Amino acid sequence: MSHFPVPIDENLIERVKLSSESENVGNQKNSLSLNYVNLDADKVLSAFGTFGRYQAGSMLGAPFITQLSDIFGRRWTFLGSLYLSICANLICAISPTYYVFLAFRLLAGVAATGFSSIGFILCMESVSTEFRDFIPLMSNFFWLVGYMLAGVFSTFIHNWRWLYFAITVPSMLTIPFYWCVPESLHWLITKKNTRAVRKYIHTSSRFNRSHIVLSECQSGTNLDSKQSKRTVIDIFRCGALLIHLIITSYVTITMNATYWALSLFSTDLSENKMLGFFLSGIVEFPAAIIALFAMKYFQRRWVAFFSLFFQSVAMLCAVYIPLPQNILMIFPLIAKSFNIIIWSVQPLLSTESVPTTVRNVFSGVVIFIGEFGSVIAPYFPLLEAINKNAPSLLIAVMSISSAIFVLSMPETKDQSLPEDIDDFKLGPFWNRIFSKSESQKTPSNDEEVMKSQNEVLAITTVHGCVNVDQAVANVNRTIRANNKTDILVFKGAADCLIGGLQDDPAEDFFFGKDGLGDKPRDFPEVLESDFKPTSNEHASSALIRLTKEHPDATLVCIGPLTNVAIALRLDPNFCKQPARVVIMGGNYFGIGNVDPTSSCEYNFHGDPEAAHVVLKEMQCPLTVVPWEAFFLEGPEHEKLVNFHAHLNYETPLASYFRTATSIGREKLAASGRQYAYCDEIAIATAISEAEVVKKSKYFRVMVELHGKHTRGQVVVNWMEQLWETEDNTILGTDGKKSDIKSGRSIKFVQSYDVKKVDEWIHAVASGNWKH
């Protein structure tokens, strides 16, 4: 419906012929040559000849122009198509021959597809999520204005050339669009055009009198050059997206066929042909308003489903209910109204779910296939040779089948736009089918037992990025955000093991003064009760007690190790009590992340003595996830996953993630870096080390306690490390076994499956975590 520059009166071509015939008699200069008049021999086929050319142009141009918009930008392809359409239509009005007319009519169809499809997507990508519902209302309003003007013009203008010219002239009002239409911000970000993004943000901030941080715009995507140059081939390579393409195309065929079948034959609704035409048009705007309210309060899938369903019912009523003709005309008008509601919601439903990198070319392919509905609509009357009610029955069957298909599409209401193909999600029906096929890969019993035991017994707090009291509040707030209020919280050490000797490593407040983005009123709002632990029991005592009560428990450390070191001093047997310990911290290549003058990692720098005690004395299995694991593989990981995509879910937990990490992300973005997973890797390793860790190595290590620039750094005995055999024995200079060993041999993670961890984080953020 929305792929045409201005709507044209359905009987225009017939009037063109009649006008041409009269002109041919009275004025040879205004006639169309090549026996144009003689084409009236076959009225059914010739009446829609140029309409078919126009639709053919739309079909042929759609895939190519939309692909160009994904490559070269929305703005230029939109404006180019728009102005090309204006020129082509003006030339149609002055065409000297019928073939020239058809050629430029075809070109007008090609251009119209470009500016209508690209314009819709440009609008969708340029407004906020909550404003997208208004886009169909505005487009339907101006479509209706053009639709009605075509009827008005045809009433007063009887010369076909002047009629065509009058219909085309209003489109020249779009010339100022050259200075007004911006490029899509989503497209600019996928192309990493930082300069244009800065200009866009500056202009929009000034216009809206608001402040936008560039890093927040950049955080939405992290595409490499290959991903940012997607083509139509990528759609056919992605099974899920291909299924979505097939469904959307079929539904679009139904929508086009129904709209044009009802519009082109609207003059048959009443004995007064102009009344039927205007009634067919006037019902569109109320239907668009109804669609707006429906999309505000209901999911898009269900609005589309019921609209298609009742469209089918209306067409069946028009066939089988025995009523006078002047009353039966109500049912096609009702069907037209539901068709407009479908046209309001379905384009949003289909395009919002498609990734930005292929959104336009996807739309182009859908238009190409969907225009078959527009092309065949004028020939529906031919079906009456088979059965008088065949056209209406065909529309009813297509509508009800499309309604069923719509239910299998993904819901997009209040959802952020996916950036790349990896972000695309199928609807619930297809997800069940694919999940069943994947479920045939049954995991081992040991793995299932391990997964079923992923229960958080308690969380202890310690000094670090914030003071220990603030840490208690942050943990309680996080627990409430996860709706897990049964988890115990224990307050731990307020200072390092040897108090007063260690500089405060948190002077810059990397994550904000409160450690969670400095937004206490955001979800969940900070409460006074958040600052109170579950009990007055010290965290170290709780660790000792809980590991005795739960000998299979894993201890995960993602901060300074002060509480664990104190537990070792309180109870020497604690070294054997946890089933295993996973530590996020330390380094083995001297790559630091505290400040330029330090070669140590942040958590070990926070309490070097505690780190020394824990690495030396803990006797249970110990796995360290060091800073090098993130730093050395960071560039490669950035090509594999989008570290910000999980923030785009419209869920309370995703909102909390955005709040908690906002300041840290801004600081990293300012230095050209991304916020990668760190603590998350340690947690994932604790959940399933076999799934997450790809490569690890044992190092004989100690913790440096005295150096000015190295205090807290993990020191590897590389002499022994290089000559150590597979059975952990050391060979001396004489090649014989040596008993000299310095430092404990500890497992360090060197490489991990970042895509697996990203998959889990997405599941958590979207509310689908079932591990």
> In the structure, what pLDDT confidence band is assigned to residue 307 with cuts at 50, 70 and 90?
very high
What is the pLDDT at residue 32? Answer: 35
> In the structure, what pLDDT confidence band is assigned to residue 126 with cuts at 50, 70 and 90?
confident
The answer to whether residues 489 and 406 belong to one domain is no
Q: Is the pLDDT of residue 555 over 60?
A: yes
454 assigned to some structural domain: no
What is the pLDDT at residue 533? Answer: 93
Q: Is the pLDDT of residue 521 over 80?
A: yes
DSSP result, 364-393: HHHHHHHHHHHHHGGGGGGGGGT-TTHHHH
What is the pLDDT at residue 626? Answer: 94
Q: Is the pLDDT of residue 8 over 70?
A: no
The answer to whether residues 467 and 371 belong to one domain is no
The answer to whether residues 551 and 407 belong to one domain is no
Q: H or E element: which one contains 700? A: strand 693-703
The answer to whether residues 340 and 416 belong to one domain is yes
Q: Is the pLDDT of residue 28 over 50?
A: no
The answer to whether residues 393 and 481 belong to one domain is no
> In the structure, what pLDDT confidence band is assigned to residue 668 with cuts at 50, 70 and 90?
confident
Mean pLDDT across the chain: 78
Q: What is the mean pLDDT of residues 441-445?
A: 42
What is the spatial distance between Cα 429 and Cα 549, in angstroms, rounded to a whole number?
A: 44
441 assigned to some structural domain: no
Q: What is the mean pLDDT of residues 605-619?
A: 93
The answer to whether residues 493 and 548 belong to one domain is yes
The answer to whether residues 235 and 291 belong to one domain is yes
What is the spatial distance between Cα 522 and Cα 663, in angstroms, rounded to a whole number?
A: 14
What is the pLDDT at residue 704? Answer: 92
Any idea which of 132-141, 489-498, 558-567, 703-712 has the lowest mean pLDDT? 132-141
What is the pLDDT at residue 739? Answer: 52
The answer to whether residues 393 and 510 belong to one domain is no
Residue at which a domain ends, from 428, 454, 481: 428
pLDDT tens, residue by residue, 358-383: 887 888 788 788 878 887 887 888 88
Q: Is the pLDDT of residue 690 over 70?
A: yes
Q: Is the pLDDT of residue 730 over 90?
A: no
What is the pLDDT at residue 206? Answer: 74
What is the pLDDT at residue 182? Answer: 85
Let me know how long the chain is: 771
Burial zone of 549 (CB within 10 Å; 0-12 exposed, 13-18 middle, 19+ buried): exposed
Which among 489, 358, 343 has a CA at the least distance from the CA of 71? 358
What is the pLDDT at residue 402? Answer: 92
> In the structure, what pLDDT confidence band is assigned to residue 61 with cuts at 50, 70 and 90?
low
What is the pLDDT at residue 278? Answer: 67
Q: Which two tokens stand for residue 496?
A: 């390092």
557 assigned to some structural domain: yes
What is the pLDDT at residue 268? Answer: 59
Between 339 and 269, the more confident residue is 339
Q: Is the pLDDT of residue 329 over 60?
A: yes
The answer to whether residues 125 and 270 belong to one domain is yes
Helix axis angle, 300-320 relative to 330-352, nearest 10°?
Answer: 160
What is the pLDDT at residue 53? Answer: 58
Between 501 and 139, the more confident residue is 139
CATH code assigned at 156: 1.20.1250.20
221 assigned to some structural domain: no
The answer to whether residues 553 and 618 belong to one domain is yes
Q: Is the pLDDT of residue 611 over 80?
A: yes
Tokens 């003007």 map to which residue?
149
* Whether the Cβ atoms of residue 459 and residue 477 lie closer than 8 Å to each other: no
Q: Is the pLDDT of residue 623 over 80?
A: yes
What is the pLDDT at residue 553? Answer: 92
What is the spatial distance between Cα 431 and Cα 633, in angstroms, rounded to a whole number?
A: 32
* Whether the Cβ atoms of residue 378 and residue 51 lie closer than 8 Å to each other: yes
Residue at which a domain ends, from 410, 428, 446: 428
Domain count for the chain: 2
Any idea which of 13-17, 479-483, 658-662 has the lowest mean pLDDT? 13-17
Q: Is the pLDDT of residue 435 over 70?
A: no
Residue at which a domain ends, from 428, 454, 489: 428
Half-sphere exposure of 228 (CA within 13 A, CB side): 17
Which among 212, 76, 94 has a CA at the least distance from the CA of 666? 212
210 assigned to some structural domain: no
Between 680 and 265, the more confident residue is 680
Between 114 and 292, the more confident residue is 292
Q: Is the pLDDT of residue 629 over 60?
A: yes
439 assigned to some structural domain: no
pLDDT tens, residue by residue, 82-108: 899 899 989 988 988 888 888 888 888
The answer to whether residues 467 and 382 belong to one domain is no
Q: Is the pLDDT of residue 518 over 60?
A: yes
pLDDT tens, residue by residue, 568-597: 999 999 999 999 999 999 998 888 888 888
Bridge partner residues of 745 (DSSP): 700
What is the pLDDT at residue 155? Answer: 76
CATH code assigned at 625: 3.90.245.10
Q: Is the pLDDT of residue 59 over 70?
A: no
* Whether the Cβ atoms of residue 498 and residue 610 lie closer than 8 Å to each other: no
Q: Is the pLDDT of residue 10 over 70?
A: no
Strand-strand pairing, 488-490 and 554-557: unpaired
Which among 121, 135, 124, 110 has a CA at the least distance from the CA of 362? 121
665 assigned to some structural domain: yes
103 assigned to some structural domain: yes
pLDDT tens, residue by residue, 460-513: 999 988 999 999 999 999 999 988 888 999 999 999 988 765 555 444 578 889
Between 368 and 179, the more confident residue is 179
Q: Is the pLDDT of residue 443 over 80?
A: no
Domain residues for 392?
A: 12-181+230-428
Which among 132, 120, 142 has a CA at the least distance from the CA of 74? 120
Q: What is the mean pLDDT of residues 509-519?
A: 87
Q: Is the pLDDT of residue 167 over 60?
A: yes
What is the pLDDT at residue 18? Answer: 36
Q: For the chain, give the percent of residues with pLDDT over 70.
A: 78
What is the pLDDT at residue 403? Answer: 92
What is the pLDDT at residue 447? Answer: 40
Q: Is the pLDDT of residue 258 over 60?
A: yes
> In the structure, what pLDDT confidence band is assigned to residue 432 with cuts at 50, 70 and 90?
low
Q: What is the mean pLDDT of residues 665-682?
A: 84
What is the pLDDT at residue 308? Answer: 93
The answer to whether residues 251 and 324 belong to one domain is yes
What is the pLDDT at residue 305? Answer: 93
